[in-house]
Structure 1
Amino acid sequence: MDHVKLVQDPIDITHIHQLLADEGCGASSVFVGTTRDNFQGKKVVSLAYEAYDNMALKEMKKICSDLRLKWPELKHIVIYHRLGTVPVCEASVVIATSSPHRSEALESVSFAIDQLKTRVPIWKKEIYEGDHISEWKENKESFRPKVSKCL
C-alpha cells in the first residue's frame, strides 16, 4: 500500500513504522531528512516549505509507481513531506519502504529521495539567525528552471 501525504504537523515516526509493518516483510528502510542548524557558515534556525500541493501529491504517487516497477516486491511505501515551518532537528521528509528482503528496501528509499528532490514541486526557504534573514534554496538535484518567490 502507498501512503503519500503533505503535512503541517511534526511527522510521527512511530506511525510510519506502523504503516510499514507486514508479516511477509523482513526489512524496512526509513530515510528521515531533518533540519540542520547550519548552511555555509550561517546559523539556520528553521526551514519553511511551500508546495504546489496537487501537483506535488500527484508526482509523489508517480514515484511510488516507479518504485513498484523497479522493485515489485515492495509491500508498503511511505512518502511524507512537511510544509510550513520546520525547526532544527525536526523531520522535513520521511521516505520508507518495506519488503521481504533488505536490498529492495534500502535501494528503493535512496532512489525515492533522489526522485523527490528532482521531480516534486516543493520549495524550501532557510531562515537564518539574526534580523529575520532568509533565503529560498534551489534543489541542486533539480533540473527544473529556477523559480522566483516574492514574500
Structure 2
Amino acid sequence: MTDLSAPPSSYAARNSTPQGDLLELTHDSLDKPSFLNSVVDSVRRDRAGAVALFIGTTRDEFQGKTVTRLEYQAYTRLAMKTLSSIIEQAHTSWTQPTDLTPEALLRVAVIHRLGAVPVGQTSIIIAVSSPHRREAFEACEWILEQVKLKVQIWKREWYAGSEDAY
C-alpha cells in the first residue's frame, strides 16, 4: 500500500536565510499550539511593533462540493529555493532606508504542510515581523500570494462521494 502522506518527491526540509528567516516544508501537523508559538517566536524582535500571522486551513466545502481533505506534493529542492527567493524579494520590496526604521521587514517564517491535510487542519503558516503593522500585513499577504503563484507545491482536492481528486 502506498503512503499518501509522504510522496517520494515531497520530502521535508527546513532552512534559514542569512537574515534569519525560517522556511520549512513538513509532513508533521502544524496544529500544535507549541509549534505555532515557536513560529511566532522565530520572527519576534525587540524592534518589531507588529507580528502579522496567517494560518491557512483546509475548509470543508469548495464550489458546492464537500471537501474531505487536501493533499500537497512538492518538488522540495526547487520549492525551498523559490521560497528563499520570495522572502529575499519581500525584504527588498519593504526596505525603507531611514534612520528610524532601516528595515520594514525584520523576520519572516513560511511553513507549508506536505501530504494529506484533513478538513480543519493547517496547511500553511506565514509570520512576518515589522516595526509597523501596515508593512507586516501587506508583506504577509504578498508572500502568501507569491507562494500560491510560484512555489513548486501542488494541491489535490478530495471530495466526498468521489474517488477522484481534482
User: Structure 1 length normalisation: TM-score?
Assistant: 0.85
Higher relative strand content: 1
1:50 and 1:64 mapped to 2: Cα distance? 21
Aligned to 1:145: none
Q: CA RMSD in A?
A: 1.1
Matches within 5 A, 1:1-150: 1-11=20-30, 12-72=35-95, 73=103, 74-135=105-166
Structure 1 Cα separation of the partners of residues 24 and 163 of structure 2? 29
Superposed CA deviations along residues 29-73 of structure 1, whole A, max 9, x for unmatched, are 011111000111111111000000000000000001001101122
Report the residue type matching 1:27 in the other structure.
A
Structure 2 unmatched runs, 5+:
1-19, 96-102
> CA contact under 8 A between 2:111 and 2:125: conserved in structure 1?
yes
Moved more, 45-54 or 6-15: 6-15
Aligned length: 135
Measured in 1, the distance between the counterparts of 2:144 and 2:113 equals 14
Dislocated runs of 4+, deviation >4 Å: none
Report how far residue 103 of structure 1 moved: 1.2
